[in-house]
């Protein structure tokens, strides 16, 4: 079932776009392709309407920033990043991100098929008909596992450093943030990675946030603006900050694959060898020492 209607553009423009996508797919499928050169060549054409070599002569500053070897990503500064895997996907992530700044990326009839092709060469796995709208960010990309018919809407952050699974028919709405790493309260550099799982047909609705290690079951829903710290059972609707499952969809029984009560949870991996042990609880409840001060009151502590 869908509420989307087909939209067609000028046949000539569509043919040009389809040729471009087919050519991109073919070149990426060739193991001999130099991904850095491919990405900078496409960007020079899309952004400045000329060949990369010409752009280098005309506007070196612009050209240098199209070559992913001259660019850094936040993930490159993380200890947890597999530098070899990242180097392989980096030119394609740079192409994805930078095309989003151009009409090519902002135009869904071209941008979505281009991203579908790029995802096939960046993600650990991607199923059929992946539909990703513009301005979506990943941490490393290579830890994304995506099923069939998954949709990711605009301005989403998919922090996949610890792994994200988006199962078949899952939908991630605008401005959602899904994390897979967390920092200790007392020591920022003490980082734990945990795979975050979004089940089949689950809907993560606008402006919500999911913290590392949560398992959202099949057909579950996270309400708008919610903050999910743990799990949602099948068909559950979790709301609020922090989110609690307070409603269930009225549904006939159906088979469930991702059920948070049985699905394997990621116990977590430490990302920094300086902190090899599991991080203990590091917060306490307030007591009388923490009572709000009355106006003018001075408290001696120690």
- Residue numbers of the site for ligand COA (CB under 6 A)? 171, 173, 203, 205-206, 223-226, 237, 239-240, 247
Tell me the closest approach of the beta carbon of residue 226 to ligand COA, in angstroms. Answer: 6
CA–CA separation, 37 vs 40, rounded Å? 5
Tell me the closest approach of the beta carbon of residue 222 to ligand COA, in angstroms. Answer: 8
CA–CA separation, 205 vs 175, rounded Å? 9
- Residues 59, 36, 177, 205, CA torsion sign: positive
Question: What token pair was written down for 21?
Answer: 């996508």
Q: Please name the residues in contact with 145: beta carbons below 8 A apart, sequence gap of 6 or more.
A: 123, 124, 125, 163, 164, 165, 166
CB of 113 or CB of 236, closer to ligand COA: 236
Tell me the closest approach of the beta carbon of residue 48 to ligand COA, in angstroms. Answer: 36
Tell me the closest approach of the beta carbon of residue 41 to ligand COA, in angstroms. Answer: 36
What's the gap between Cα 92 and its chain centre?
15
CA–CA separation, 243 vs 251, rounded Å? 22
Tell me the closest approach of the beta carbon of residue 124 to ligand COA, in angstroms. Answer: 25
CB of 191 or CB of 214, closer to ligand COA: 214
CA–CA separation, 76 vs 87, rounded Å? 9
For 54-84, the three-class secondary structure string (H helix, E strand, C coil) is HHHHHCHHHHHCCCHHHCCCHHHHCCCCCHH
Specify whether the CB–CB gap between 52 and 44 falls below 8 A.
yes
For residue 288, the 8-state DSSP code is: G
Tell me the closest approach of the beta carbon of residue 32 to ligand COA, in angstroms. Answer: 41
Tell me the closest approach of the beta carbon of residue 224 to ligand COA, in angstroms. Answer: 4
CB of 152 or CB of 271, closer to ligand COA: 152
CB of 52 or CB of 130, closer to ligand COA: 130
Helices (H), the chain: 11-29, 35-48, 52-58, 60-64, 83-99, 103-106, 108-122
For residue 254, the 8-state DSSP code is: -
CB of 150 or CB of 237, closer to ligand COA: 237
CB of 212 or CB of 228, closer to ligand COA: 228
CB of 90 or CB of 203, closer to ligand COA: 203
Tell me the closest approach of the beta carbon of residue 100 to ligand COA, in angstroms. Answer: 20
CB of 36 or CB of 226, closer to ligand COA: 226
């Amino acid at each position: 079932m869908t509420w989307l209607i087909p939209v067609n553009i000028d046949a000539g423009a569509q043919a040009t776009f389809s040729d471009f996508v087919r050519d991109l797919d073919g070149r990426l499928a060739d193991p001999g392709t130099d991904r850095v050169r491919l990405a900078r060549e496409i960007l020079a054409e899309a952004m400045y309407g000329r060949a990369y070599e010409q752009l280098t002569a005309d506007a070196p500053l612009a050209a240098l920033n199209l070559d992913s070897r001259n660019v850094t990503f936040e993930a490159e500064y993380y200890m947890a990043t597999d530098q070899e895997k990242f180097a392989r996907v980096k030119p394609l992530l740079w192409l994805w991100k930078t095309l989003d700044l151009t009409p090519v990326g902002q135009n869904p009839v071209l941008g979505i098929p281009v991203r579908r092709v790029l995802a096939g060469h960046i993600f650990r796995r991607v199923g059929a008909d992946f539909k990703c709208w513009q301005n979506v960010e990943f941490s490393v990309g290579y830890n994304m596992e995506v099923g069939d018919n998954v949709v990711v809407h605009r301005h989403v952050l998919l922090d996949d450093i610890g792994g994200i699974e988006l199962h078949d028919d899952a939908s991630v709405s605008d401005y959602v943030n899904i994390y897979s790493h967390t920092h200790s309260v007392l020591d920022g550099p003490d980082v734990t990675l945990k795979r975050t799982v979004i089940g089949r047909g689950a809907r993560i609705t606008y402006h919500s946030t999911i913290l590392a290690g949560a398992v959202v079951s099949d057909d579950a829903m996270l309400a708008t603006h919610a903050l999910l710290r743990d799990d949602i059972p099948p068909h559950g609707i979790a709301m609020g900050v922090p989110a609690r499952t307070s409603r269930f969809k009225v549904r006939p029984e159906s088979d469930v694959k991702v059920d948070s009560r049985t699905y394997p949870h990621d116990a977590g991996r430490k990302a920094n060898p300086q902190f090899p042990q599991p991080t203990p609880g590091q917060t306490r409840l307030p007591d009388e020492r923490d009572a709000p001060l009355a106006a003018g009151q001075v408290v001696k502590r120690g």
